[in-house]
């Protein structure tokens, strides 16, 4: 692998990490929207409460919110791991160059 190929691979890692982080940010925005969809205390009438519609809605809302919240964390985790990989490669390259310079 040439040095140019190596630099291109590191740049690709950074670009991929940015894409995953951006996706995490998008899901964070969606999480805010979903959070605003929570039912207020008196938004359903008595029939909606008695028939179980209110409980069903609240359960579905909580499930969706939890899934989106998990997606935010997992997508950011992928981004962080890609950046950590890039840093590890850069550190190893610097150490290799130092060894060569020692002669």
pLDDT in tens, 6-65: 788 889 999 999 999 999 999 999 999 999 998 877 777 787 778 888 889 999 999 999
pLDDT in tens, 49-90: 788 888 899 999 999 999 999 999 999 999 999 999 999 988
Is the pLDDT assigned to residue 97 strictly greater than 90? no
State the pLDDT at residue 67.
98
DSSP one-letter code for 69: H
- Domain range summary for the chain, segments of one domain joined by +: 3-102
Q: Which residue carries 């310079």 as its tokens?
A: 101
How distant, in Å, are the alpha carbons of 22, 39, 41, 43 from that of 69? 15, 18, 23, 25
């Amino acid at each position: 692998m040439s040095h140019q190929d190596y630099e291109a691979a590191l740049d690709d890692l950074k670009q991929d990490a940015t894409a995953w982080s951006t996706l995490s940010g998008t899901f964070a925005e969606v999480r805010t929207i979903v959070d605003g969809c929570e039912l207020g205390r008196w938004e359903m009438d008595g029939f909606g409460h008695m028939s179980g519609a209110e409980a069903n809605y609240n359960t579905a809302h909580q499930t969706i919110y939890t899934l989106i919240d998990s997606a935010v964390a997992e997508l950011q985790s992928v981004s962080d791991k890609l950046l950590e990989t890039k840093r590890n490669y850069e550190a190893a390259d610097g150490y290799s160059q130092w060894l060569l310079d020692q002669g």
